[in-house]
Amino acid sequence: MRTFARTAALFSVIAALATPTATAQAAPGPFGSPGDVITTPLQYALKSLPIADEDRTGYQRTSFKHWIDADKDGCNTRAEVLKDEAFMSPEQGPNCKLTGGRWYSEYDDQYIDGASGLDVDHRVPLAEAWDSGASDWTAAERQAYANDLGDDRALIAVSAKSNRSKADQDPSTWMPPAAGDHCDYARDWIVVKVRWQLAIDPAEQASLSEDLTHCPNAPVKVTLAR
């Protein structure tokens, strides 16, 4: 169970890919500018992502600075996610040390007691983001991606075992062990790629297309980060 309380800026809806309005036209291709809000059926969002081969040349995990304390409240991004997603809230001590608490790991349908058994996963891994366009970003953009608290689908607390099993794989080679999470996982993967205007490779596109045949084609709302 997730109860998010993250603060994000409010933006006016100025683009709607699949349901045009008087102020927006439906069109595939670039999604828009930072702050634009897109509402579109999930399958259309997938079809609108550019397809490109991946290139990991030059990738280093340190190219994405994390975890930072963006609001200077003493808790870094990892701790903020853990606090937001706790099924039973932990106690917070000095330097944002979290003790106790209980979490639900969606990837493997398990409850986890204590923060030490958890990883905070980048839904779309840092290496995958690099492969898909982030290699051309500025250092500030990569830091913003690695610490994205503006959309609760970007980061998720899961069991360390499931996260490390996933590593930097995309949906063509890894899906959550819990079959009941597959639709949510595919949806959130696509949302993050749209939010950050990242590409997908052919195998990834084919796998996600197959996954979505078993999932509701519900509209998703995405605020573009870049």
Written as six digits, the tokens of 180 are 């009941």
- Which DSSP string do the residues of 135-161 spell out, in sequence order? GGS-HHHHHHHHT--SSTTSEEEEEHH
**Per-residue DSSP letters for 175-212?**
--SSGGGHHHHHHHHHHHHHHTT--B-HHHHHHHHHHH
Question: Is pLDDT of 10 > 80?
Answer: no
| DSSP character at residue 91 | E
Q: What is the mean pLDDT of residues 155-160?
A: 98
Lowest mean pLDDT among 6-20, 48-62, 154-168: 6-20
pLDDT at 21 exceeding the cut of 80: no
C-alpha span between 155 and 123 (Å, rounded):
6
Q: Region 192-221: what's the mean pLDDT?
A: 97
Distance CA 219, CA 170 (A): 23
- pLDDT of res. 30: 61
**Position 22, amino acid:** A
Q: What's the confidence (pLDDT) of residue 6? A: 39
* Residue of higher predicted confidence among 11 and 122: 122
Q: How many angstroms separate the Cα of 65 from the Cα of each of 56, 86, 145, 183?
A: 18, 24, 9, 30
Distance from the first to the final alpha carbon of the chain: 29
Across 131-141, average pLDDT: 97
Percent share of the chain, pLDDT over 90: 85
The CA distances from residue 83 to 2, 87, 91, in Å, are: 10, 9, 9
Q: pLDDT tens digit string along 88-128?
A: 999 999 999 999 999 999 999 999 999 999 999 999 999 99
Residue 9 has pLDDT above 90, yes or no: no
CA distances (Å), 1 to each of 4, 29, 66, 87, 109, in order?
10, 35, 25, 6, 11
Average pLDDT for 124-138: 97
Q: How far apart are CA 224 and CA 226, in angstroms?
A: 6
Q: How does strand 219-223 pair with strand 37-41?
A: antiparallel
User: How many angstroms separate the CA atoms of 108 and 188, rounded?
Assistant: 16
Query: What digits encode the pLDDT tens for the residues 64-84?
Result: 999 999 999 999 999 999 999
Whole-number Å distance between alpha carbons of 198 and 51: 9
